[in-house]
Structure 1
Amino acid sequence: MPHADLSALHELLGPDARPCRRAVTGERGTALPAFTDHHVHTHLIDEAPLSRHGIAAVVDLGGDPIALARRPGGGFPAVAYAGAFLTAPGGYPVGRSWAPPETTHEITNISLDAGVPGGVATAIDEQHTCGASVIKVALNFSSGPVFDLETLQAIVASAHARGLPVVAHVEGEGMLRRALDAGVDALAHTPFSEWADPASIARARAMGQRWISTLSIHDGPDRERATINLTTFAAAGGRVLYGTDLGNGDRASGIQPDELASLDSAGVRGPALVAALADPWPLREAPHGVASFVAGEAPGSVDEVPAWLAGATVVPTEELIHDDHR
């Protein structure tokens, strides 16, 4: 590929985009880093189509920690997980039909001593022992009790002591600020039930907080708030991750075109959109040995990128012959 064309490809899709062809089929296209959906619930979805439709890895943000620990390794999609939702007694999502009892852990004691029933450290140790890569907390003030700031700070401190980031489901007035005050590392959803004020957005960006998008699960005012909040956060330099809350609603497994289009409309465009898909968080590295491949001609403009990315599939990197190295 001529240098000028390669430069144009990188301008549209980022420096890791590479023209290539598949050795077995001869099909030409573009290779990109492996894509991750940063918010799914594997017990509610059919995982089989994910890799065929562009998703090489997922982050399960709420499931049975023992069942997740027993998953066979080595296949695709690769799965990182939080284990159970940590929640206040009677808090979200306790009692929800989609959340079996094994998927929630109610914290009743702020203790940081190991083995204390209902204690903070006990809950963190349970998820950590089961192989969790991140801790999930519920801050859904709209649907029941939530952690006070002291308990939430203890959870964050205990998780960080074990090298685990904390992601929060934030819903209800004041919950974004509580997550910021406690040092929560990521939001499972772009704030959708409250407006993110400029000071909160500046704090979130300064502390390196990541916001998982999940724009397309909303309708009406919630979607408008989430879109504007994410637009402002992204424009301020905030770190955005592609995530869909797959399992919430009846949607096919794989890349969600509506989520890509929603991110694009929020200003997460071109290379930034690819980066939101390709970030391996909460892991340090993306899955080895695979890439996300889009067949056919590369997009001609940034406006074409979201629909084009929706055609991705996951292929072994050893199958790809890079045209720029011929």
Structure 2
Amino acid sequence: MNQQLKVHLALFSVALIYAANYSIAKTVMPEFVKPFGLIVIRVVSAAIFFGFLSRFVVKEKITGRADNIRSVLCGITGIAVNQLFFFGGLNLTSPIHASLIMVITPVIVLLMSAILLRTPIRWLSSLGIFVAGAGAMLLISGSGKEAGGSSVIGDIYILLNAVSYGIYLVLVAPLMQKYKAITIVSRIFFVGAIIVIPFGYDQVLAADWQHLPAQVWLAIVFMVVAVTFLTYLFNAWALRFATPSLLGVYIYLQPVLAILIAVFLGQDVFTLEKGLYALLIFIGVFLVSRK
């Protein structure tokens, strides 16, 4: 398997996990565990796991004042702010609305790359973002006509989450060129854990852990292991070989995969119209990923 295919496989896996997370997280919060409490469980678990790997397996440290400051900023934007706004927003709005708003992330990544990294915006990338964005907007807006349970404040939280994550993708890229992925992920989760614990500590204690249904426990395990560990590892590794804009544009796949999951579970119907929208998304990803 060549390197380019591995990168695309890693990014596709991340998109698949995130697509499933929109629906799975809604089965846990707020009835069984409130959003900030769920964040504390995920982030603290990840900080312990990655911290162990970094200390006893990788044994590498971030050096230099500039890199340490950048790693702290990555922890703030990529973990703390990102997670607090995402789960806080998802708790208040619908998965359809959340998916729709997250589509703007590649645009933010491209703009921040141009500002912070002075990366030129090629016309082919611009065309790819436009085509993929059009397909995703058409796809989600078509499904969103039947979706309910959304709120303005929830949508704003998801928007802020997308901005924060887009900035993180750009900030973390230079660090991934100098250090191993575990080293960076360990640091950003440690920073994130320190920030999120005061927000969700009381919500962790308030949950009735002894009487949680089995499916809720499975959902929590999925969010800790897959959504927290695997996605950050795959993203961190892929950033060593892919541009931030390529990584961000894979978020366009999330609504497509979410539809496929819903069809598999008998919750939606796949139509030719949705297939055409999905085709636009894949064409856009291809245009952006072309050298």
Fold shared by both chains (TM-score > 0.5): no
TM-score by length of 2: 0.24
Taking CA–CA contacts closer than 8 Å with sequence separation of 6 or more, which of the two structures ends up with the larger relative contact order?
A: 2
TM-score by length of 1: 0.22
Q: Which is richer in helix? A: 2
Q: Which is richer in strand? A: 1
